[in-house]
Amino acid sequence: MFDKKTLHDYDIADKKVLLRADYNVPLTSDGKIQSSYRITQSAPTIQALIDKGCRIVICSHLGRPKGEPNEKLSLRPVAKELSKLLDRDVKFVSEAVGDKVVKATESMEPGSVVLLENLRFYPGEKENSEDFARQIVESTGAEVFVQDGFGVVHRKDASTDAVARQLPALAGLLLEKEISIISHAINNPDHPLMAIIGGSKIKDKIDIIYKFIDIADIVVIGGAMANTFLKAEGVEVGDSLVDNDELDTARDVIEKVREVSRARKFVFYLPQDGVVAKTVDSKARTRVVDWDHFAAASIEAYPKKPSINTHRVGKDEKILDVGPISSSFISGAIQLCRTVIWNGTMGVAEVSPLHGTVGPYAHGTEAVIDGLVGRYGNKPFSILGGGDTSGYIDKRGLNDMFSHVSTGGGASLDLMAGKELPGIAVLWGK
């Protein structure tokens, strides 16, 4: 149960509301929005505030401008996108505090919307400065604070902590939805539960790996992170991206897995084969290397005996995706599950294809998608998180085909791992 007050649990009618959203959206080199998913997901909260006659001042960050203005990271394009989405004018202010903000917000009409400039143009944001928070509140004249930026609540910034201590602090509808769905899937999932974890660094996801070893029935490791586990197991990975500093951590995880597997039915799956190439390039020649049981090499070479190179990653080759045997295992395992939580693509899915719609290193990721959307029959309850995963799904226009696509990366991982989220803890309780 969500135990924080939301905008429906407090009398906010006709009040001026400071809304913290997460509009950290990807932009093209010429400043156009590549994915508006986070913007569209904020719309229900904004519309609810409009319906209550509130005057809405939205604040957010974009990118990492390091405490100083950067026109390439301005939120101006977001204001234009919001205007189209809400079908009303969203006034953009080129500052987040000061006289311009005062002038733009002091005579707002009920239902009007203002978007402030990137909060991270000010060093006080990342410093969680009480003074900067006070400037925001005083410049906007806000009477209530609503936190709806799920993607930032794992951070203790001025707009997630200090501001919330100066005003009645409530949760927005998106925040409530994210917390409720993810918490239920972790605390009371429908089994069998499967976790698919990609990414590059073990240390970034070690807490969630251990969490899922404790609660899941199947854990699949993919992406570059799998290379570190494979090397720890003695598999030759050539020139693949490996986190050598975490090899001992990988061995500790594998030892933990063996303990759990002896105690109950549990599967910890590392790729058995992979797509390799000498460069991360859409024009690079690829091949499949089966380092586990050599079936692919044997079938391809029959009646001759395959050479050792057919099932060994070369010293100048990189593993860039899981192979067809691994993809088949993963998508098949999905058919046995009722809940699947997925964070991290299976390969370098962002490399564009020369032909077709699927990149040369995205076939493993596509196999996961096919399994989750019910292509083979079973369609489990699915939760997707992480910037690369949700970005890929959004680019393919598949958001509506999953049960829940989270707007948070680090926040969703911390929530799943059971960590306290500062931006949630500070909100008013019921």
**Residues with a known catalytic role:** 38, 201, 387, 410
Q: How far apart are CA 277 and CA 418, in angstroms?
A: 38
> How many Cα atoms occupy the beta-carbon half-sphere of 198 within 13 Å?
27
Q: Fill in the amino acid letter for 408.
A: G
Number of neighbouring beta carbons within 10 Å of residue 129:
17
User: What is the phi/psi pair of residue 305, to 5°?
Assistant: -80, 130
**Computed from CA positions of residues 206, 341, 275, 253, in that sequence, does the dihedral angle turn out positive or negative?**
positive
Q: Give the contacts of 197 (CB within 8 A, at least 6 positions apart).
A: 205, 208, 209, 212, 219, 220, 221, 222, 223, 225, 343, 344
User: What is the phi/psi pair of residue 174, to 5°?
Assistant: -65, -45
Q: With b meaning 16 or more CB within 10 Å and e meaning fewer, what string describes 332-350?
A: ebbeebebbbbbbbbbbbe
| 3-class DSSP assignment, residue 320 | strand
**Are the CB atoms for 395 and 404 separated by under 8 Å?**
no
